[in-house]
Chains A and B, each alone.
Chain A
């Protein structure tokens, strides 16, 4: 029997708990806590001229009402701008509670604490706020016009303008035999996890310490931020991410206003306080992403090879820039995908609007970049009358050109250098999977039956595993079980299983003997967070490093006990033995549990295992101290992984769609994915990530958008009208994998979390364009939109193919 599970599709260790209702999500904690609710701005842009709480006083169950004026010390300062950048010349953040002005519907103004949430909402309804209305800036065009301003001191509403280039794109395009220009438009969507945000805080006055549970993607950084805001020593603050019901990016930005206010109120009141975001709050109080306008100018030769590419992006960053300009930086760098663009220039404007702030949502700018590039590839192919896959193939970076330096700076501030990938092989696999060559015959058949079908393709490269670092801690207990921890957080990715597989592999123990904790500052204090498809790469390698150190130590101690050279020893199924020898060989093996006992010399024998480790427990070499110099007691260690730069996963999607000639309904008939994220730890988990990503991609392409009216009201702030797909809207995903290991990390892994979502809009636009015979340039697209486009294109004298 082997203990090997690394690379195997094992069932998840976290599932039994979650399946039986034993999960502990934020709102499952603290039944006796006071409840917080917020009065939020109903207006997109206004000055606050007065707050009247008279009517609220005396409501049975009311505990406290707070406004900005109450926020003492640093709690009243603007929230941090987490990722500064020299191009972000006009970064702005809001306050935990609005001070004087509100800049989007949903901005918190008053905090109410009461005995339960029902009462807290009663109180909110009785608080009056007076406003002086200011003209709202809604939509990218309005922001770009700059006639009206979101922030008085930000001219043109431009938070940031940034240019990156390699070569002289304008000159290369001008000199090219063919030039095309495209105007593209992608609307807003949002992460929309099924669990909203939430915070629970408990102040222990006796211990002068604060414990905060929050459904965050970055607990260590929340701790640092709270310690700073609340002016507490960091060591007196514990932050724990409990079970988190999905993140997808929206929970990476921090601290949220509520994340500051709930602990602040808990300290002030000396009571447990909890806030559980409801769905309406989530729509207007959390963050969105995706909205961009793009202009592409491309020059290419007769073969379809790009000679120059010039892209301008107008990015809607909403009311504030708490997460900096990561999203448009990613758009303008990851846009390049698997291609060599010739000379390249990308310029973006990050613009303020009076809408909810924009921070990364799974894909984080990549879906928009992919859309720009892949629409361009299709346009080039259409212009030259070439097969769309041929044009792509001709522009691919070849495997022998790896590592490939684009000459640009990536989102982590480091050079954009692809480490590995075999794009031609990926394309071949995809063409085979979807039946690219056979499609025309299928189209003819369908057409004869009065049906309209189309096929689309889109390719992407995804920078994953960005630094700066993650760490891991591994300890073998004296019963032979293994506990491990890493600081980054989990929102459903199966980290407990995947990381246990890594640790089990390195330590030679059964995977179900490994218990992994994530996102708990009590267990591991140094971490960055879960984003950018980085967890497996970063914490996987960090835990592997920690486990390897523990293994080395175990072999050293076992070597002494067995009087063997550690180099001749191995650990199999939790037993250290001479390599290749059966575990039953007399004197030839020692359980890891025993090694753990020996690793910690004891004075007190509290049980029989401990007795063996006491100073009188066995033969002793009096020439050595009980703990050797340079060693520490216990069979445990920490390890860190800090990559020189990101590692680049890649993949390609193809879709076959049917568009109803009469009703303009769009049906996805097939959806195929070929994906390369390096070495797989657990193929089943990776596959699940792809499925989920594709569903979000389909949502973003065909169903989801945030509809703001001119006054800045979000018109579809509910699951009735924000159309997250149900099972009946999501296609079956057919997948195939390549495994091109990353040369950058010992495990050879690349990130997989965001991959599925990236080409969604691009591939479906490609397929719908193919079915309809005219170019789709704006996503998402509804049947109503398609119907309108048909009317327009018919008027233009085109006939659908």
Chain B
């Protein structure tokens, strides 16, 4: 389990990085934290000709929390995002979700942007970005563009990024209004990819009635699935809403597959149970938010 040889590039600025990517495109692969890529290299399931190591792009090692969004640079490790108190203050869902991502040692090195660029349908951050309607910023030698999560993810492990583009940051918008957000999942072992995981956002109006309810899922389809389940609970007060109906509605719209850890039936069942639980918890949190 040793990686095949590759030509190694270690740019020190974003400009250099995108220049190199353009030069070696489409035979280049970006190396950030490496927690997903290097296992594939070690197993020789991937053998890119060129590896562009962005670990020296210190300009991308940032977490910026504002009132309406948290923006994470491509060299911010999961642990940096998880520990960022300002980010937690505006968007606690990030820290809450990151605690489910593998183990601390992996989070010390793995990057949040890298896991999103990897577009693993089992990746929690991928689902959170989709749930919140976040955006992804990409740079190429020629231009910079920002795309929505919905446009970014194009399939399992596939995105709209061109081979010459570097994802420089992702932005998680803070949901507007009186909202609560919760991540929950069931994994075989603590720290494993979820058998089923769901993130939910519930929005309440001034009378604490449900104005919106959305859920995103991991391991339930080839790409992050985001479902709006407001219909099942709209207008009900947060503590009387039929969250189970919302859970059923969500589960009915998912089409997971069997794998060696769980059947599709079980996954669908879990989605119903977890969505119900997470929506109820999210609504409770929303109700606790100071108006």
A→B interface (CB under 8 Å): 117-118, 121-122, 125, 278-280, 662-665, 703, 707, 715-716, 718, 720-721, 723, 725-726, 728-729, 782-784, 787-788, 791
Contacts and interface: CB of A to CB of B under 8 A. Distances in A.
Given A280-B1, A663-B273, A707-B260, A783 B186 contact: yes
Interface string B184-219: 001011111101000000000000000000000000
A646 B263 CA distance: 45
B190 A728 contact: yes
B189 A703 contact: yes
If over half of B's interface residues share one DSSP class (helix, strand or loop), that class is named, otherwise mixed; here it is loop
Given A122-B4, A125-B4, A788 B263 contact: yes
Contacts of B189: 703, 723, 725-726, 728-729
Nearest to B277: A662
Interface in B87-109: none
B8 interface: no
Contacts of B151: none
B262 interface: yes
Give the interface centre of B1, B4, B192 by most chain A CB atoms within 10 Å.
B1
Nearest to B263: A784
B83 interface: no
B2 interface: yes
Give the interface centre of A715, A720, A782 by most chain B CB atoms within 10 Å.
A782
Contacts of A788: 263, 265-266
A121 B263 CA distance: 36
Given A663-B270, A728-B190, A784 B195 contact: yes
Given A121-B44, A726-B189, A729-B190, A782 B262 contact: yes
Contacts of B261: 721, 782, 784
30 contacts: A118-B2, A121-B1, A125-B4, A279-B1, A280-B1, A662-B273, A663-B186, A663-B270, A663-B273, A703-B189, A715-B260, A716-B260, A718-B43, A723-B188, A723-B189, A726-B190, A728-B190, A728-B191, A729-B189, A782-B188, A782-B261, A782-B262, A783-B188, A783-B262, A783-B266, A784-B263, A787-B263, A788-B263, A788-B266, A791-B265
Contacts, number: 67
B9 interface: no
B5 interface: yes
A662 B265 CA distance: 13
A121 B270 CA distance: 42
Interface string B271-287: 00110000000000000
Interface of B: 1-5, 39, 43-44, 186, 188-193, 195, 260-263, 265-266, 269-270, 273-274
Contacts of B192: 720, 723
Contacts of A728: 189-191
A662 B274 CA distance: 9
A763 B19 CA distance: 62
B261 to A, nearest CB: 7
A121 B1 CA distance: 8
A728 B189 CA distance: 8
A76 B273 CA distance: 59
Contacts of A721: 260-261
Contacts of B274: 663
A731 to B, nearest CB: 13
B7 to A, nearest CB: 15
Given A663-B273, A664-B266, A721-B260, A703 B1 contact: no
A703 B43 CA distance: 24
Contacts of B260: 707, 715-716, 721
Contacts of B190: 726, 728-729
B188 A703 contact: yes
Nearest to A717: B43
Contacts of A720: 39, 192-193
Nearest to A116: B2
Contacts of B191: 726, 728
Contacts of B39: 720
Nearest to B188: A723
Contacts of B2: 117-118, 121
Give the interface centre of B3, B39, B186 by most chain A CB atoms within 10 Å.
B186
Give the interface centre of A663, A718, A726 by most chain B CB atoms within 10 Å.
A663
B234 to A, nearest CB: 25
Contacts of A782: 188, 261-262
A663 B185 CA distance: 10
A125 B1 contact: no
A124 B39 CA distance: 19
Given A125-B4, A707-B260, A729-B190, A280 B43 contact: yes
A121 B186 CA distance: 37
Contacts of A707: 260
A121 B4 CA distance: 8
A122 B47 CA distance: 11
A277 to B, nearest CB: 10
A433 B191 CA distance: 32
B30 to A, nearest CB: 22
Contacts of B269: 787
Contacts of A662: 273
A665 B4 contact: no
A731 B51 CA distance: 43
B265 A787 contact: yes
A74 B183 CA distance: 62
A780 to B, nearest CB: 11
A627 to B, nearest CB: 58
A122 B1 CA distance: 11
Given A718-B43, A728-B190, 6 more contacts: A664-B266, A720-B193, A723-B192, A726-B190, A783-B186, A784-B261
A663 B191 CA distance: 18
B277 to A, nearest CB: 8
A796 to B, nearest CB: 17
Contact of B186 (A278, A665, A715, A723): A665
Nearest to A664: B266
Contacts of A665: 186
B217 to A, nearest CB: 15
Given A125-B44, A703-B189, A726-B189, A784 B4 contact: no
Contacts of A783: 186, 188, 195, 262, 266
Contacts of B5: 118, 122
Contacts of A280: 1, 43
A728 B102 CA distance: 13
B196 to A, nearest CB: 9
Contacts of B265: 787-788, 791
Contacts of A118: 2-3, 5
A781 to B, nearest CB: 12
Contacts of B270: 663
A723 B266 CA distance: 19
A261 to B, nearest CB: 19
Contacts of B195: 783-784
Nearest to A280: B1
Contacts of B1: 121, 278-280
A787 B273 CA distance: 13
